[in-house]
Amino acid sequence: TAALLAAVSSAGIGAHQHVNLSLCLNTSSLCYLFVSVAYPVTCGTRAADLLEDGQVVLCPPDCTQWRVSVFGTSVYASVSSVCGAAVHGGVIGPAGGPVRVHRLHGRYNYIGSYSHGIQSQALSRWPASFTDRSVCVCVCVCVCVCSVAAKKPLKKPSVKKALPVASKECKMDFALLLDGSNNIGKRRFNLQKGFVSRLVTSMKLGPTGPRMGVVQASGSPKIEFYLNNFTQPKDMLLAIKEMPFLGGETNTGKAIMHTAESFFGPERGGRRGYPRVMVVLVDGWPSDDLETASTLARESGINVFMVSIAKATPEELGAVRDPDFMKKAVCKDNGHFTYSIPSWFSSTKHVKPLTQRLCSMEGLMCSKTCYNSVNIGFLIDGSSSVGDANFRLVLEFLAAISQSFDISEVGSRIGAVQFTYDQRMEFGLFDHPSKEAALNALRRIPYMSGGTATGDAITYTAENLFRAGPGRNFLILVTDGQSYDDVRGPSLAAQRQGITIYSVGVAWAPMDDLKAMSSEPKDAHTFFTREFTGLAELAPLLVRGICRDFSEAN
């Protein structure tokens, strides 16, 4: 018993953590302490808030009674409540309990359904998703009694060969998309494999440097091996050499989308905080559309490089679907993300310059995403017509928006101003460097009550909340009525400062005022709901709008 208590104490298990304890006896001479802890969360905690894949969380009771947002069935968009999704999927009951959350890549057509007391909502698309699974959480302490006489002399430890030193300047995760279509043919496909092998050697693949995997693009893409399949260059080079030719159409867009969705997850060797790079080799031209695929890759923070070899001949140009496919596929059309090689026979001399470009951290624009590189200001109507109960619904609506973003000292930021005739800075963009602290501050804002001077509030916010610094600036304004002052002039002035304005109207807010305040295009930046309870449905739309604006600007 004393040993058990000491083990539990040394494991740091507190009263707030959910564990089951069992005492295990083993006659083996090796003993291990296994500790699995379920961390408490709220009904409103979303999958996007969790830091680790496979994390075990402890859901509270009565999440069916709380107004949770659940998008999907079986597989849920990451903006969904973890506990709400677990109840909907039958993983836990109304009493709550431990849940293991597994991340997935983005999916299309999340289907809504009614199950276990929760009506989940449909969502056409979201860049990340998850599944909930049941879990048995336990601590097993193995107490061993070993006879000294039975001990065997320890073997002299074998000396392992040192691993090759990886390139310290190229700490990235790479997906190499090879052209495996009929357009390239078997002969040039083998030349392509030789070029890729030299590229792998040049980058110095290793556990402390770059990780690489290979995808073959054809009629249907095939992931040949993932990031965590090989850590030694010689093993990867052998796998590339033995890779068979697929043949089929040059569906590059389909391959990019498949790679963005299925390749870079932590279960496949993707590392948190490491830039993700997709190198796409195309011999000739693609036969499908790259627009949707490139958008998905950009929103996922993937840096797409296009390497073209042997451009289409004059006779072949008539069959080219989109002559500008390279510009549409890359992360940013600035020349850094495209590279042309005249012929496979001259490709060797291009290995070094291409390696240098791929390993240039400064050029990786798409490692910055809308989720980790924006400043969002909330301008909140605190007038008498709102009322305290509705004001709380507004704060929950803004918290739901904030949940989707990576709020940190080096990531996105949020700040809030409340207004009536006067303005009050509730907290600035740099007051709370963590998501938890920022959300707590947002939910604790006290209701002011008073008149409505929205124009003055916009001017105050532009001058006092936003300041020069990293990140793109967005202002989400929520109001339920007409302003007593001019809103058009202050809104235009704020937009000239580089602030993108989203106006959200409730109840009696005039549509003319809402559109006068919002950025262009007006229809994409103006939202309205008749009831305060309808605000929750607008949160995903605003998040997608911010990401769309960010992608277009970058």
Give the Cα separation of 477 and 550 in Å (integer).
18
In a domain, 102, yes or no: yes
Give the Cα separation of 68 and 84 in Å (integer).
6
Instruction: Provide the pLDDT for residue 145.
Output: 31
Q: Which CATH number goes with the domain that contains 42?
A: 2.170.130.20
Specify whether 549 is located in the same domain as 519.
Answer: yes
Residue length of the chain: 554
Specify whether 342 is located in the same domain as 231.
Answer: yes
Give the Cα separation of 218 and 191 in Å (integer).
17
> How far, in Å, are 198, 236, 413 from residue 233 at the CA level?
10, 5, 41
Domain region containing 334: 173-366
In a domain, 454, yes or no: yes
Specify whether 357 is located in the same domain as 487.
Answer: no
**H-run or E-run covering 419:** strand 413-419
Q: Which residue, chain included where needed, has tokens 């101003």?
A: 417
Beta-sheet pairing, 114-115 with 118-119: antiparallel
Angle, CA 357 vertex, CA 354 and CA 362 arms, to 5°? 170
Q: Is 517 helix (H, G, I), strand (E, B) or coil?
A: helix
In a domain, 536, yes or no: yes
Q: Which residue, chain included where needed, has tokens 């990031």?
A: 227
**H-run or E-run covering 361:** none
Specify whether 386 is located in the same domain as 525.
Answer: yes
In a domain, 383, yes or no: yes
DSSP string, 42-88: -TT-BGGG--STTEEEEEPS-TTTS----BEESEEETTSBHHHHHHH
Phi, psi values for residue 425, rounded to 5°? -75, 110
Give the Cα separation of 141 and 3 in Å (integer).
9
Identify which of 420, 422, 279 has the alpha carbon closest to the alpha carbon of residue 354.
279
Instruction: Provide the pLDDT for residue 253.
Output: 86
143 with 25: CB under 8 angstroms? yes
Largest CA distance in the chain: 91
Specify whether 196 is located in the same domain as 231.
Answer: yes
Instruction: Provide the pLDDT for residue 170.
Output: 79
Give per-residue burial for 389-420: e unless 16+ CB within 10 Å, then b: ebbebbbbbbbbbbbbbbbeeebbbbbbbbbb
Specify whether 462 is located in the same domain as 395.
Answer: yes
Q: Which two tokens stand for residue 510?
A: 């005039």
395 with 443: CB under 8 angstroms? yes
Torsion sign (Cα): 234, 238, 241, 243? negative
Instruction: Provide the pLDDT for residue 464.
Output: 95
Specify whether 347 is located in the same domain as 443.
Answer: no
**H-run or E-run covering 304:** strand 302-309
Radius of gyration of the chain, Cα coordinates, nearest whole angstrom: 27
Tell me the CA end-to-end span of the chain in Å, nearest whole number: 61
Give the Cα separation of 510 and 381 in Å (integer).
14
In a domain, 161, yes or no: no
pTM above 0.85, yes or no: no
* Residue 15 burial class via C-beta count within 10 angstroms: exposed 0-12, middle 13-18, buried 19 and up: exposed
Identify which of 433, 438, 500, 503 has the alpha carbon closest to the alpha carbon of residue 472.
500
In a domain, 359, yes or no: yes
Alpha carbon of residue 186 to chain centroid:
37
Helix axes 388-403, 435-443, angle to 10 degrees: 170
Single-letter amino acid code for the residue at 360? S
Specify whether 390 is located in the same domain as 465.
Answer: yes
Give the Cα separation of 93 and 293 in Å (integer).
39
* Number of domains comprising the chain: 3
Question: Domain end: 343, 366, 389, which one?
Answer: 366
Instruction: Provide the pLDDT for residue 272.
Output: 66
Specify whether 404 is located in the same domain as 522.
Answer: yes
Specify whether 237 is located in the same domain as 312.
Answer: yes
Instruction: Provide the pLDDT for residue 524.
Output: 95
| Alpha helices for 280-416 (secondary structure H) | 291-299, 325-329, 351-358, 388-403
Question: Domain end: 366, 391, 417, which one?
Answer: 366
**Tens of pLDDT, residue by residue, the chain (554 residues):** 454 444 444 444 444 444 444 333 333 333 333 334 677 888 878 887 787 888 888 888 888 765 567 888 888 888 888 998 999 888 898 888 899 998 887 665 677 777 887 878 777 667 778 888 877 543 333 333 333 333 334 444 443 333 333 455 677 899 999 999 888 889 999 999 999 999 999 888 877 788 999 999 988 999 999 999 998 888 999 999 999 999 988 888 899 989 988 898 888 988 765 788 999 998 877 777 777 787 777 767 788 888 988 766 665 566 566 667 777 677 666 678 888 888 888 888 899 999 888 887 656 666 667 777 899 999 999 999 999 999 999 999 999 999 988 787 767 899 999 999 999 999 999 899 888 999 999 999 999 999 999 999 999 999 999 976 556 899 999 999 999 999 999 999 999 999 999 999 999 999 999 999 999 999 999 999 999 999 999 999 999 899 888 877 76
Specify whether 460 is located in the same domain as 546.
Answer: yes
Specify whether 138 is located in the same domain as 203.
Answer: no
In a domain, 153, yes or no: no
Question: Domain end: 366, 385, 412, which one?
Answer: 366
Q: Which CATH number goes with the domain that contains 538?
A: 3.40.50.410
In a domain, 155, yes or no: no
